[in-house]
Structure 1
Amino acid sequence: MQSNTFERVQHFLLRDNLQMTLRPARTEDAGELLTFVEQIAGESENISFGPGEFGMTEEEERAYLQQVAATPTSLYLVAEIAGEIAGTLTFNAGKRPRVRHAGEFGISIARKYWNLGIGGRMLTYLIDWARQSGIIRKLNLRVRVDNLAAIHLYERMGFVHEGRVSREFYVRDQFVDVYHMGLPIDPLPEA
């Protein structure tokens, strides 16, 4: 069910009666976002870096957040619960005219908030945001082939498998393949 109105800040009641707010990241979030990134780096092997490997300073993160806010084809979404960052979603499209309609996103959720529906809420936000953008026509992602919960979520949201890439991750002395998945986006009809 799609609506023609898009709210930049959204509020939800999750399982376990938790209140969640979804909103675009702000430059003043830079320090807390870096703390969150370091936390999830130690909690999940489904992201492309481990503890201490992100390699961004607070000033660089702040500059990145400013760039995202100024780019109509980029999104940095924050999920907050009780004033704490529970998850993030980042999306960046191509910069050149031939590829600016398509981009890739990534989702990270703190382990203590897994299985509460946060990923689905963030994906719905992303899809609605892309539709209202008038520019974004394709959402892409890469997901480890053994991340069955994420694959199920993406399939449920309409993403289709577009290919498999071998040896994309190297974790614990083993290579792991990823699926490429995508979702075509139709813009909202003119009002």
Structure 2
Amino acid sequence: MGFEQVSTLPDGRRLVLREAVLEDAEEMIVFVQKTLGESDYLLFEPGEFRPSVGEQRQLLEQCARSDTHLYLIAEVDGEMAGMLHFQPGKRKRNAHAGEFGISVRKKYWGMSIGRQLLQALLQWARQTGKIRKINLRVRTDNERAIRLYRSVGFKVEGTISREFCIDGRFYDAHWMGIELD
């Protein structure tokens, strides 16, 4: 296993951040399905994320074989509380950059789990010596997430109109990025 970090949450519980392993596949699917019902800010709609356990395991195997692909799990008292997935560009010309997605179960919001996942991503990316730029897309009305991203160094690099359509309503998105030395 690669990356692992242990810390204490503000309420005294133990937080473990670690790389996902094949045995996490089924629990990861359940986690995402639950999380989709808790927030409209995620890319998938409830019920839309339905990979098989085999497909999820294939993705985890791909991550394990790559030194520039990362899937992190956040656990609180053994329960999956958050997840972060970073995927680099697929071509030589953009392999130095990538995009990530992050989600935290609602009952763990406000406990700095998202911040710790982001800081772990940045630490890992710098250690690769290969990742030089990290990007993300975030709805322009997701003010809490934007504040978090800015607080660790991300900058708004552009805005895309009508990037998301939820229940017939359009939402714009910011492209944000951070350059790594």
Normalising by structure 1, report the TM-score. Answer: 0.92
Could you tell me which residue of structure 1 aligns to residue 122 of structure 2?
127
Amino acid at match of 1:151: I
Point out where structure 2 has 5 or more consecutive residues left out of the alignment. Answer: none
Amino acid at match of 2:78: G
Residue 134 of structure 1: how far off its partner (Å): 0.8
Residue 15 of structure 1: how far off its partner (Å): 1.4
1:113 to 101, 108, 114: 108
Could you tell me which residue of structure 1 aligns to residue 47 of structure 2?
52
1:41 to 36, 39, 49: 36
1:104 aligns with 2:65: no
1:158 aligns with 2:153: yes
Output the CA distance in 1 between the equivalents of 2:35 and 2:166.
15
Residue 172 of structure 1: how far off its partner (Å): 2.2
Residue 8 of structure 1: how far off its partner (Å): 1.4
Over the matched positions of the two proteins, sequence identity in percent amounts to: 49
Check conservation: 2:29, 2:50, Cα contact below 8 A. no
- Find the residue that maps to 1:28 and give its secondary structure: helix
Could you tell me which residue of structure 2 aligns to residue 68 of structure 1?
63
Output the CA distance in 2 between the equivalents of 1:134 and 1:67.
19
Point out where structure 1 has 5 or more consecutive residues left out of the alignment. Answer: 1-6, 187-191
Amino acid at match of 1:165: I
Could you tell me which residue of structure 1 aligns to residue 169 of structure 2?
174
- Find the residue that maps to 2:92 and give its secondary structure: coil
1:82 aligns with 2:77: yes
Output the CA distance in 2 between the equivalents of 1:97 and 1:141.
20
Check conservation: 2:140, 2:173, Cα contact below 8 A. yes
RMSD: 0.9
For residues 169-191 of structure 1, give each alpha carbon's deviation from its aligned partner in whole angstroms, at most 9, with x where no partner exists.
111220000000000011xxxxx
Amino acid at match of 2:94: V
Task: Return structure 1 stretches of 4+ with deviation > 2 angstroms.
Answer: none
Output the CA distance in 1 between the equivalents of 2:3 and 2:47.
32
